Chains A and B, each alone.
Chain A
């Protein structure tokens, strides 16, 4: 008994503890990262959908697939409970400095909109980024469009995004030349009448260099609605449709409106954002389940490791266990000791793992490359979910503790005390 080597055994135990805690921590860090980042990204996209100022989108395949956009938007707007229908055309064009012909060209994303329809379809986060009303001269875009002829006078007003304005030194009151191609001579000079902020867009085209101009001006410039043509495409990519408040929250009423629009345009896609949100939510639930399944592999390994460490402790403590049994200490005291030790290791591991997951995500948010960084910065830390993970791991540690307890209670007293 003397020189039982308890100093040495303590060092051993400490090392085993550190290893077991690390194994559990590694197993816990993975789901913590996956769930918090995954949950953050889908929550953000969901919020984007729910905060949009419109609830239904009409879209068509191919480039600028919707024709007769002005007329179609007006017909949709006449449907009961539709408040606004806003056609939008997005085209990549080129911008030139109006005074210095040798200055380099900048590719920009041009958005053609009907100004008076566009503003009401902005969500609360976006609407602060745009001047209201949009200073684009022709609020309904019907002065220039003039019954589908493009015969009215164009305003040649444009709004530029603040990043573009800052990068190119463009100020309100100046002019810029916009051209459908890198050939400056095909371009037209536009008056810069204002600027707009760029929403923090995640995991999508950033559109930081963007301009906003009347739909008909962009259509004429890009040839989708040639000036003075008798038959024109009047093209748009999408028509965003906003409905009256009570309908927007009511899935069946919203579906009814969607069906009505669909019957107007049987060949185009008509989706309600509520549907999309529901799809996104179920997709994110599937993903979370998948993350947990993936993590369960790591967690199993961690728990097996914990069981091995506890078994090893039972092995080295065989004599002490036998002495306690010989003195008549009840089996449950011995079980409680082992289970507590397992639970403490598991709890420590789970806490360290949660902390490690947090540190990993925070460092990604700070130092990773752009997309990863953006995703990481969206991570949400839900105390309930994290608590559930920690509690689950501590609960599962009882399995490892149970295995070791079984071994401990099978120690033959007289064998161990030889």
Chain B
């Protein structure tokens, strides 16, 4: 689907992320990673626990900045963007499915899905319609008014997926989006993400341990100790 001449959407050059620099518990979670991601790519990230997958996703999703090296979005160095611009990009351009879901506990399932639409002034009726539609797509019809503590882990995870799709982002970053799901639901969520990506030519990057999930991706990254040790498949 890529003709090879499209410029990269997100680019990491020698990007490193060190936690607790110059302290006793300094952790180099990412080490000099070079990576170029084309628009519309479908990419899986694998690797043992603690190898830096979430850290990489945070940099790709503008949640964090590298301690050295550079991240560029559309050729613009992320470091040169204001906090406001980065917020705006996250709001409209990125759908993030967190490893631990992070639903807001005081909001219902539907309110959680509506939340990212509010700052964009989506009219209320449209918000409700879209949120209910997304919840139905992840198989949570009828659970709109449930609070997160009334949902099972898998249900929470599916609400998180619906929320990530709320503003129809061009980039989907999913940190083990099917970790809590049974085979049936895993397949359903995966089908949804794949369909969304195909419909909108969105970029889909997912972290997973599940071979069934990673097999659907076109490009496969393997990480170890903060470095990308394998990068196979089409770009």
A residues with a Cβ closer than 8 A to B are 1-4, 6, 319-320, 323-331, 333, 413-414, 417
A1, A6, A328, A331: the one contacting B102 at CB < 8 Å is A1
Give the size category of B's interface with A.
20 to 34
Alpha-carbon separation in the docked complex, A328 to B120 (Å)? 11
Q: How far is the CB of B225 from chain A (nearest CB, A)?
A: 19
Whether A4 and B96, one on each chain, are in contact in the complex, defined by CB atoms closer than 8 angstroms, is no
Alpha-carbon separation in the docked complex, A157 to B49 (Å)? 112
Determine the chain B residues whose CB is within 8 A of the CB of A327 once the complex forms.
90-91, 96, 115-116, 163
Whether B105 and A4, one on each chain, are in contact in the complex, defined by CB atoms closer than 8 angstroms, is yes
- The DSSP consensus for interface residues of chain B is helix
| Closest A residue, CB atoms, query B58 | A414
Q: A2-B149, A319-B102, A414-B64 are in contact. Are A331 and B83 (CB under 8 A)?
A: yes
Alpha-carbon separation in the docked complex, A256 to B114 (Å)? 78
Determine the chain B residues whose CB is within 8 A of the CB of A4 once the complex forms.
105, 148-149
Q: A6-B149, A328-B87, A330-B87 are in contact. Are A323 and B104 (CB under 8 A)?
A: yes
Alpha-carbon separation in the docked complex, A331 to B119 (Å)? 11
| Closest B residue, CB atoms, query A7 | B149
A320, A329, A331: the one contacting B105 at CB < 8 Å is A320
| Closest B residue, CB atoms, query A3 | B149
Determine the chain A residues whose CB is within 8 A of the CB of B98 once the complex forms.
326, 417
Alpha-carbon separation in the docked complex, A293 to B220 (Å)? 70
Chain B 88-132, CB-CB to A under 8 Å as 1, else 0, gives: 111110101010111111100000000110110000000000000
Q: How far is the CB of B141 from chain A (nearest CB, A)?
A: 22
**In the complex, chain B residues 38-57 whose Cβ is within 8 Å of any chain A Cβ:** none
Whether A413 and B87, one on each chain, are in contact in the complex, defined by CB atoms closer than 8 angstroms, is no
Alpha-carbon separation in the docked complex, A323 to B163 (Å)? 12
The yes or no answer to B70 lying at the interface (CB within 8 A) is no
A1, A6, A328: the one contacting B91 at CB < 8 Å is A328
The CB with the most chain B CB atoms within 10 A, among A6, A328, A417, is that of: A328
Q: How far is the CB of B213 from chain A (nearest CB, A)?
A: 22
Q: A1-B101, A1-B102 are in contact. Are A326 and B91 (CB under 8 A)?
A: no
| Closest B residue, CB atoms, query A327 | B116
B residues with a Cβ closer than 8 A to A are 58, 63-64, 83-84, 87-92, 94, 96, 98, 100-106, 115-116, 118-119, 147-149, 153, 156, 163
Whether A1 and B84, one on each chain, are in contact in the complex, defined by CB atoms closer than 8 angstroms, is no
Determine the chain A residues whose CB is within 8 A of the CB of B96 once the complex forms.
326-327
Q: How far is the CB of A12 from chain B (nearest CB, A)?
A: 13
25 A-B residue contacts at CB 8 Å?
A: A1-B100, A1-B101, A1-B148, A2-B148, A2-B153, A2-B156, A4-B149, A6-B149, A320-B104, A326-B63, A326-B96, A326-B102, A327-B90, A328-B89, A328-B90, A328-B91, A328-B94, A329-B87, A329-B118, A329-B119, A331-B83, A331-B84, A413-B64, A414-B63, A417-B100
Q: How far is the CB of A121 from chain B (nearest CB, A)?
A: 72
Closest 8 CB pairs of A and B: A328-B91, A328-B90, A4-B105, A6-B105, A323-B102, A414-B64, A328-B87, A327-B116
Determine the chain A residues whose CB is within 8 A of the CB of B147 once the complex forms.
6
Whether A6 and B106, one on each chain, are in contact in the complex, defined by CB atoms closer than 8 angstroms, is yes
Determine the chain A residues whose CB is within 8 A of the CB of B118 once the complex forms.
329, 333
Q: How far is the CB of B186 from chain A (nearest CB, A)?
A: 20
Alpha-carbon separation in the docked complex, A380 to B233 (Å)? 83
| Closest A residue, CB atoms, query B98 | A417
Whether B102 and A333, one on each chain, are in contact in the complex, defined by CB atoms closer than 8 angstroms, is no
Alpha-carbon separation in the docked complex, A327 to B147 (Å)? 19
Whether A1 and B156, one on each chain, are in contact in the complex, defined by CB atoms closer than 8 angstroms, is yes
Determine the chain B residues whose CB is within 8 A of the CB of A323 once the complex forms.
102, 104
Determine the chain B residues whose CB is within 8 A of the CB of A1 once the complex forms.
100-103, 105, 148, 156
